[in-house]
Amino acid sequence: MKTPIISRRSWLQRAATGFGALALHDLVQAAQSPLAVKAPRFPAKAKRVIFLFMSGGPSQPDLFDPKDYIRRMHGQKITAPINTNEVRVGTDKFLALATLGAVRPRGQSGMMISDLLPHTAAIADEICLLRAVHADNNQHQSASLQFHTGVTAEARPSLGSWISYGLGAENQNLPSFISIHPDSDTRLYGSSFLPAAHQGTKVIIPSSDKQSPIDYLADVSGDAKAQRARIDFTQRMNKRLLDQAGTDACMEGMIESMETAFRMQTSTPELVDISNESEATKQLYGVGGKDTDKNARACLLARKMSEAGVRFVQVTLGGWDHHGDIRNALPKSCAASDQPCAALIKDLKSRGLLEDTLVIWSGEFGRTPWSQDLSGTSPIEKHGREHQPESFCAWMAGGGIKPGFTFGETDDFGFRPVSGKVHLHDLHATILNQLGLDHEQLTWRHLGRDFRLTDVYGNVVKEILA
Amino acid sequence: MKIRPLLLLSVILVSAAAQDAGLQQKLEKGFTTFDQDHDSALSAAEFNTLGEYSPKLKGKPQVVDYLFHTLDANRDGKLSHDEYMNIAAISGGAKPSPEKPAIIETKSSTEQIAFFEKKIRPVLAEKCYKCHAEDSEKIKGGFVLDSREGIRRGGDSGPGVVPGDLMKSLVIESLHYTNKDMQMPPEKSGGKLPDSVIADFEQWVRMGAPDPREGKASMVKSEWDTEKAKNHWAYQPVKQAAVPSVKDGTWPRIDMDRFILAGLDAKGIKPVGDAQPEVLLRRVCFDLTGLPPTPEQVDYFLATHDSQAFEKIVDELLNSPRFGERWGRHWLDVARYAESTGKDVNCLLPHAWRYRDYVIESFNKDKPFNEFIREQIAGDLMQAKDSRDRALKQIATGFLAIGSRSLNERSPKQYALDTADEQIDAMSQAVLGLTVACARCHDHKFDPIPQTDYYALAGIFLSTETLYGTAPNFQNLKSSPLIDLPTDCGLPRMPLMLTAERRAEVEKDLTKTERYGTMQFYATAAKGLFTGKGFNVNNDPQKLVMFVGINAKIGECKTELASYDSEGRQKLLAMGVRDYPATLSAGPPTKPKSVEETFQMIAGRPAQFSSINDSPLFARGDVEKPGAKVPRGFVSVIPSKAPAIPSRESGRRELADWLVADTNPLTTRVFANRVWHWLFGQGIVTTVDNFGTMGQPPSNPALLDHLALRLQSGGWSVKSLIKEIVMSHAYQLAATHDARNFEADPENTLVWRMTPRRLDAECIRDAMLAVSGGLNIEVPVGSAVAQYGDGAIGGYPIKSLRAPLSDEPFLTASSDFRSVYLPVPRNAVPDALTVFDFAEPSAVNGSREVTTVPSQALYLLNNDFVAKQAKRFADKLRPLPENERATAAFKLAFARAPTANEAKAAQRFFADYPRLDSDVLTSFCRALLGSAEFRSID
């Protein structure tokens, strides 16, 4: 059975049967709702976004950007291309750490992808690899915050909130912004000063019956009929109040949100439930796989949500923070996420959705080409890599981005961008651009001035547009 | 022996060195060479090596010393690059000027000028003047390059051209298109110039950027015209307008009503009728105390709802301790009250609750608002009657200490400026309704607040020590002391004890760690890392980790020990501020003798910001670009006489006096407007925190001034003002819709009716507790955060250090106390509050958002707390006869009886309710708690 996506009108009519002609408010309310669909500023290439967030910082020297020099110097001290006075913990010896495994040309363009990502390698012709992405901070929290909100401290609206604000929700029965398995920092999906309707809704895929995919989603009584009776009684009182007040957007909102909430109770578990997907699809993602199951479910859910009209879906796939023993740990992280992420692209494509869905794969930063050894005594084989915001790799797909294209180059170390540098502000500007939004025009007045996702920065990366 | 160093130096630095273009480069090279620890500044020791380079200075330490101190214009014991470069100026005989690095003016030859005219000027004129000339419509980046002065001074990002220095000339950088954020000319003006043209520009800069273009480049154009901006309504004195005559003389009850009615008359609309007594009662109870009326109050008022009965109710509410809890919370929104530092290292502030209690008590005692403000800005500098009063006045200054802060900031100078900035921002928005902090980097774009005003205030706050506590940890090197309150102040203390065993354990830990630290410190020093400058941990990152750990452990132990008195009781501690000493302080140690001192050297507050002093104007807000000092002072556009600031005090006392002076038109207007906002749901000025030109003008200026003057003439009594407003006819209007009025004034800015409102998060939660009978109205001592003590939410777990806290217990925090006493850690505010739009506690917030989202409905439908209150509510009703329960429930929840239809519906509900649920009464109560009416007042 396909997920029933009930139209806004039909559920309003259904809700209205309880207490009169609420549906009359349909059009009025739709226009007033912060989530009402808004036209993009200019013709858009993408209608929705899926952001696969590789929390922790995947190792681009191992996965996408190997360097001959580092390979030759493996285990030896290299001249650090940085100011050695900066505090460096465990990397002070600057020992080159060669790429593990083979990184080979893939697809028609010869895009360099590691053997550790065989599934990603197979979709090389669908993705655009950015090799010189640049962020401003080397701490997880600040860097993640910058990736999501544009700033390294403070609470500002996150990318998904800005997009929800700019375009509204395609499906009024669902939140416009969903974050699957988010990190604990709520600012990463918060709407800050934008209206709360634009904040991300945290969704977890329940691993037991006790867990609920959305906070307070489960009716603890477990008796839907009883709850409905209660809601009908409440709504009847609400209706009386609304009649008294005449026009009252807030009151209408309360009535409407109660119905949405009621429906979410039943529609969300249905939507989160992937048991109705075909076996082939489940296999494609790796559902049931030893390493892949959790991420496969999350990525498959992202596709379902996106298909159902959620404007911005984020999936957080963690486990990339390899400070030590990367030789042993990285292959595991790859195995857990490679298939699900690649499957998402294939699945979107086969459903004709890739064209207008923009997919982004990235960590908050990358990792150093030299090794890190926190113990100070391990052999080089047991070393890991430190955070590196100076340059790292990300890929994008669909949504009007050039497929099978590699953009950006780093120096001989794989440390600083040499060409095709893409700052996070540029990446944000480009994402908005693909959605038909001008990052300089998408503003919100707060504390006496206009705020933007890109503050006063950002340039659309024209080179990667199809 | 008298030495003439200037003369000497000019000899040293070769003949008429300042004229030599090569000198700049030599000096540059020297700086890098001397700066052995690469901190971009020369210490005295480093500067001494200059002697080694000059045979004539060798063996003349006095000369070197004199030079050092002459160049060290800001007296921070170090020479910044700019200070150092003034050697050129000194040797040339010019007066050293740290503010303006000497620009070396060489006389350009005719050929050079010709080169400029031929190759450079035409390009500038064609490609740049459109956006970067004095007469450009909108000057971009604050940068004009149509004069020599303009192109050299540069704009927001730095100097455009530095003669002879390609690297520092931003014009060259932007021409190369290497910096993505600064590519010139932009695409729309034709994009990147041909390489040959860029080469011309480089040659031009190398030859010293000869430029015949005279003319003054004015400072960056702000978007305001000074005279026009000064005429902005908010800066004008508060004037009592004549009480207007109105058409219907019977409607107004007090003068205030006449102002309202006159506003309505002008639009040709009439106010709606009066609110029903039960509606009015519910409204006033929530507005004044944040709680629903009790059944007794309902019975009383419904029986005798005349104006005397109403007044009696109002007096009762104003005198109830619940009043301070409600109105104190309003102020806590404005004061960005929170119990952790937020930002990067989210350290708990376990003593912040004292400020919360101070605020609540101030409202309960009806402390005159001018005193209330004065105490929060300068309570520590005021006279006190007794110990309790002394303690409260110190606690009051917590207003300046509870802001969010970035404890992981690496630069001590930046941290000092950021701290002052946060204080300026909070103070100016909370009290004046001005965004003064916008003038940190440039003159305010929209309001007539020059950058000099900002730094005049910054001087006051930089002369002030902020005491916020926090325990050191792996990422927090910025903890500060706290205020020890007088032990006989009689204020409550957290019932926390340090047992003898625990004390012994911590002391042992401390001794052990200190001993280990000392050993490591000297062992490291012995390895040659200990130089005359002190052990520079940056030389050895591995060691740094170890020392950070040692330092954190020592700090953790010391903080714990310092939090308890000799009897093991928690000390009476508070957050707040005090003045720095008037005399120049030594600043952080330069020759540390222990691990702790080493970290003080690295992270301690710089000496330049540790005494009473004016602040330099930092160009573009850049801490590395100090300019001339700005005398401490206030916001110049406000026509209120500025008291003189004594040289030996920070100036907070005078700032406080100036803020609440009768002639200051903003403080009284802003607060009167806030009161109106909290009673009517929207201010007369709807942008309650911004009275500047970007804010909204008042919908009824005469009314606003009337209220502002009432506040002042009523001795700044907040309760009197509130009482006057709620006793007005306007406040007692019904919320009835009226199509004609709605058309004329859809936002109800003129108050033709009462605007229906959604209750605050606290009111909703407290009301649930109140109607269920579960509310505990006792005032708890402290808060859940105080119970946890020092620690950080999230962050790195480090062995041997206290583990980081999870945010979970705070997010789900619950109690039966009033919501104002729930913990408020930044980024971990309890769900019960955030779900209904609690004020984000990182910024001043006088007007909460009101959103309606499904997560609220889900909360009401399924949250445990709500379910529990419904059950309690039902249990309370159960003893009543079945046919009385619905009526009693309505009375508790809505302060009214059910209508006939509702009574019938309730009956049907009881009859038809699905049998599966054994407790239909609980279900009924949940329906009431989840209704829109329960969380609204009209």
Nearest CA in chain A to B447: A448
The DSSP bridge pattern shows strands B757-758 and B534-535 to be: unpaired
Q: What local confidence, expressed as pLDDT, does residue B724 receive?
A: 97
Compute the distance between CA of residue B269 and CA of residue B490 in angstroms, rounded to an integer: 56
At residue B770, what is the residue type? Answer: A
Q: What are phi and psi of A316, to 5 degrees?
A: -100, 120
Mean pLDDT of A432-451: 89
Please give the distance of CA A148 from its chain centroid, rounded to a whole number: 9
Q: Does the CB of B219 have a partner CB in chain A at under 8 Å?
A: no
In which band, very low, low, confident or very high, does the pLDDT at B19 lie, cut at 50, 70 and 90? very low
Question: With contacts defined as CB-CB under 8 Å, which chain B residues touch A187?
Answer: 827
Indicate if the pLDDT at residue B528 is higher than 50: no
Q: Which of A249-263, A311-325, B75-89 has the lowest mean pLDDT?
A: B75-89
Q: Domains in chain B: how many in total?
A: 4
Residues B75 and B115 in one domain: no
At residue B86, what is the residue type? Answer: N
Compute the distance between CA of residue B818 and CA of residue B780 in angstroms, rounded to an integer: 9
Indicate if the pLDDT at residue B936 is higher than 80: yes
* Interacting residues of B207 by C-beta distance below 8 A, sequence separation 6+: B112, B115
Indicate if the pLDDT at residue B185 is higher than 60: yes
Percent of chain B at pLDDT > 70 equals 88
Closest CA to A334 of A59, A7, A2, A14: A59
In this structure, what token pair is assigned to residue B490? Answer: 């009689």
Indicate if the pLDDT at residue A1 is higher than 70: no
Length of chain B: 938
Residues in B 638-697 with any Cβ partner in A closer than 8 A: 687, 689-690, 692, 694-695
* Interacting residues of A25 by C-beta distance below 8 A, sequence separation 6+: A12, A252, A256
Question: With contacts defined as CB-CB under 8 Å, which chain B residues touch A164?
Answer: none
- Look at A223 and B609; give whichever has higher pLDDT: B609
In a domain, B417, yes or no: yes
At residue A462, what is the residue type? Answer: K
Q: Does the CB of A92 have a partner CB in chain B at under 8 Å?
A: yes
In which band, very low, low, confident or very high, does the pLDDT at B855 lie, cut at 50, 70 and 90? confident
Q: Does the CB of A214 have a partner CB in chain B at under 8 Å?
A: yes
In a domain, B518, yes or no: no
Q: Does the CB of A257 have a partner CB in chain B at under 8 Å?
A: yes
Q: Does the CB of A243 have a partner CB in chain B at under 8 Å?
A: no
In this structure, what token pair is assigned to residue B772? Answer: 């269920």
Q: What local confidence, expressed as pLDDT, does residue A244 receive?
A: 73
Q: What local confidence, expressed as pLDDT, does residue A142 receive?
A: 84
Indicate if the pLDDT at residue B105 is higher than 90: no
Question: With contacts defined as CB-CB under 8 Å, which chain B residues touch A142?
Answer: 344
Question: With contacts defined as CB-CB under 8 Å, which chain A residues touch B909?
Answer: 229, 233
- Out of A88, A219, A448, the one facing B692 most closely (by C-beta) is A448
Burial class (CB in 10 A: 0-12, 13-18, 19+), B644: exposed
Q: Does the CB of A377 have a partner CB in chain B at under 8 Å?
A: no
Compute the distance between CA of residue B518 and CA of residue A135 in angstroms, rounded to an integer: 39
Cross-chain residue pair A258–B857, CB shorter than 8 Å? yes
Q: What local confidence, expressed as pLDDT, does residue B197 receive?
A: 84
Q: What local confidence, expressed as pLDDT, does residue A283 receive?
A: 96
The H or E element containing residue B396 is: helix B387-396
Indicate if the pLDDT at residue B97 is higher than 50: no
Question: With contacts defined as CB-CB under 8 Å, which chain A residues touch B695?
Answer: 448
Mean pLDDT of B188-197: 81
Residue A128, helix vs strand vs coil = strand
Helix axes B451-462, B652-659, angle to 10 degrees: 130
Residues B371 and B477 in one domain: yes
The overall average pLDDT reported for chain A is: 86
Q: What are phi and psi of A324, to 5 degrees?
A: -140, 160
- Out of A153, A196, A247, the one facing B849 most closely (by C-beta) is A196
Question: With contacts defined as CB-CB under 8 Å, which chain B residues touch A83?
Answer: 38
B701-725 per-position pLDDT tens digit: 999 999 999 999 999 999 999 999 9
Cross-chain residue pair A154–B853, CB shorter than 8 Å? no
Compute the distance between CA of residue A312 and CA of residue A47 in angstroms, rounded to an integer: 9
Cross-chain residue pair A220–B867, CB shorter than 8 Å? yes
Residues B65 and B115 in one domain: no
Question: With contacts defined as CB-CB under 8 Å, which chain B residues touch A153?
Answer: 343-344, 406
Nearest CA in chain B to A239: B932
Cross-chain residue pair B851–A196, CB shorter than 8 Å? yes
State how far the alpha carbon of B908 is from the alpha carbons of B249, B420, B871, B905, in Å: 49, 63, 20, 5
* DSSP per-residue codes, B659-692: HT-TT-HHHHHHHHHHHHHHHHSS-SSSSTT--S
> Which residues sit opposite A129 in a β-bridge?
A395, A406
In a domain, B157, yes or no: yes
Mean pLDDT of B414-441: 95
Indicate if the pLDDT at residue A20 is higher than 50: no
In this structure, what token pair is assigned to residue A358? Answer: 């923009």
Q: Does the CB of A449 have a partner CB in chain B at under 8 Å?
A: yes
The DSSP bridge pattern shows strands A177-180 and A312-316 to be: parallel
Question: With contacts defined as CB-CB under 8 Å, which chain A residues touch B690?
Answer: 447-448
* DSSP per-residue codes, B153-173: H-BTTB-S--TT-TTT-HHHH
In a domain, B590, yes or no: no
Q: What local confidence, expressed as pLDDT, does residue B138 receive?
A: 66
Mean pLDDT of B438-455: 89
Residues in B 420-479 with any Cβ partner in A closer than 8 A: 429, 435, 438, 445-446
Q: What local confidence, expressed as pLDDT, does residue B269 receive?
A: 94
In this structure, what token pair is assigned to residue A176? Answer: 């416009």
Residues in B 342-371 with any Cβ partner in A closer than 8 A: 343-344
* DSSP per-residue codes, A252-267: HHHHHHHHHHHHHHHH
> Could you tell me if B474 and B801 are in contact, meaning their C-beta atoms sit under 8 angstroms apart?
yes
Compute the distance between CA of residue A117 and CA of residue A341 in angstroms, rounded to an integer: 10
Residues B75 and B137 in one domain: no
Residues in B 495-534 with any Cβ partner in A closer than 8 A: none
Residues in B 770-829 with any Cβ partner in A closer than 8 A: 794, 807, 827
Compute the distance between CA of residue A431 and CA of residue A429 in angstroms, rounded to an integer: 6
Indicate if the pLDDT at residue B59 is higher than 90: no
Q: What is the 3-state secondary structure (H, E, C) of chain A?
A: CCCCCCCHHHHHHHHHCCCCCHHHHHHHHHHHCCCCCCCCCCCCCCCEEEEEECCCCCCHHHHCCCCHHHHHCCCCECCCCCCCCCCCCCCCCCEECCCCCCEEEECCCCEEEECCCHHHHHCCCCEEEEEEEECCCCCHHHHHHHHHHCCCCCCCCCHHHHHHHHHCCCCCCCCCEEEECCCCCHHHHCCCCCCHHHCCEEECCCCCCCCCCCCCCCCCCCCHHHHHHHHHHHHHHHHHHHHHHCCCHHHHHHHHHHHHHHHHHHHHHHHHCCCCCCHHHHHHHCCCCCCCHHHHHHHHHHHHHHHCCCCEEEEECCCCCCCECHHHHHHHHHHHHHHHHHHHHHHHHHCCCHHHEEEEEECCCEEEEEEECCCCCCCHHHEEEEEECCCEEEEEECCCECCCEEECEECCCCCCEEECCEEHHHHHHHHHHHCCCCCCCCEEEECCEEEECCCCCCCCCHHHEC
Residues B71 and B135 in one domain: no
Compute the distance between CA of residue A28 and CA of residue A21 in angstroms, rounded to an integer: 13
Q: How many helices (H) and strands (E) does chain A have?
A: 13, 17
Question: With contacts defined as CB-CB under 8 Å, which chain B residues touch A216?
Answer: 855, 858-859, 861-863
Residues B28 and B57 in one domain: yes
Residues B142 and B51 in one domain: no
Question: With contacts defined as CB-CB under 8 Å, which chain B residues touch A192?
Answer: 840
Nearest CA in chain A to B938: A245
Residues B616 and B476 in one domain: yes
Q: What local confidence, expressed as pLDDT, does residue B915 receive?
A: 63
Cross-chain residue pair B742–A246, CB shorter than 8 Å? yes
The DSSP bridge pattern shows strands A312-316 and A48-53 to be: parallel
Query: Which of residues B149, B179, B206 is at a domain's end?
Result: B206
> Which residues sit opposite A180 in a β-bridge?
A203, A315
ipTM above 0.90, yes or no: no
Q: Does the CB of A36 have a partner CB in chain B at under 8 Å?
A: no
Domain of residue B636: give its range: 330-492+605-659
Cross-chain residue pair A87–B538, CB shorter than 8 Å? yes
Q: Does the CB of A262 have a partner CB in chain B at under 8 Å?
A: yes
How many CB atoms are located within 10 Å of the residue A152 CB?
A: 20
Query: Which of residues B59, B91, B123 is at a domain's end?
Result: B91
Q: Which of these CATH numbers, 3.40.50.300, 3.40.50.261, 3.40.720.10, 3.90.1150.10, describes A41-203+274-464? A: 3.40.720.10
Cross-chain residue pair B862–A449, CB shorter than 8 Å? no
Residue A129, helix vs strand vs coil = strand
Closest CA to B181 of A452, A427, A456: A456
Residues B358 and B470 in one domain: yes
- Look at B137 and B420; give whichever has higher pLDDT: B420
Q: What local confidence, expressed as pLDDT, does residue B833 receive?
A: 94
Identify the residue among A198, A211, A233, A368 best suited for mutation to test binding to B, counting B beta carbons within 10 A and taking the highest.
Answer: A233
Instruction: Find the CATH number of the domain harbouring B17.
Output: 1.10.238.10
- Alpha helix (H) ranges present in A60-180? 60-63, 68-72, 118-122, 140-149, 159-167
Compute the distance between CA of residue B892 and CA of residue B890 in angstroms, rounded to an integer: 5
Overall pTM > 0.90: no
Residue B901, helix vs strand vs coil = helix
- Out of B183, B692, B931, the one facing A237 most closely (by C-beta) is B931
In a domain, B509, yes or no: no
B582-610 per-position pLDDT tens digit: 988 888 887 778 888 888 888 899 999 99
State how far the alpha carbon of B735 is from the alpha carbons of A119, B283, B686, B761, B898, in Å: 63, 11, 19, 22, 19
Q: What are phi and psi of A372, to 5 degrees?
A: -130, 135
Compute the distance between CA of residue B247 and CA of residue B250 in angstroms, rounded to an integer: 9
Residues B348 and B480 in one domain: yes
Question: Mean pLDDT highest for which of A291-295, A449-453, B144-148?
Answer: A291-295
Nearest C-alpha of chain A: how many angstroms from B489? 37
The ranges assigned to domains in chain A are 11-37+219-273, 41-203+274-464
Residue A452, helix vs strand vs coil = strand
Q: Does the CB of A1 have a partner CB in chain B at under 8 Å?
A: no
Q: Does the CB of B743 have a partner CB in chain A at under 8 Å?
A: no
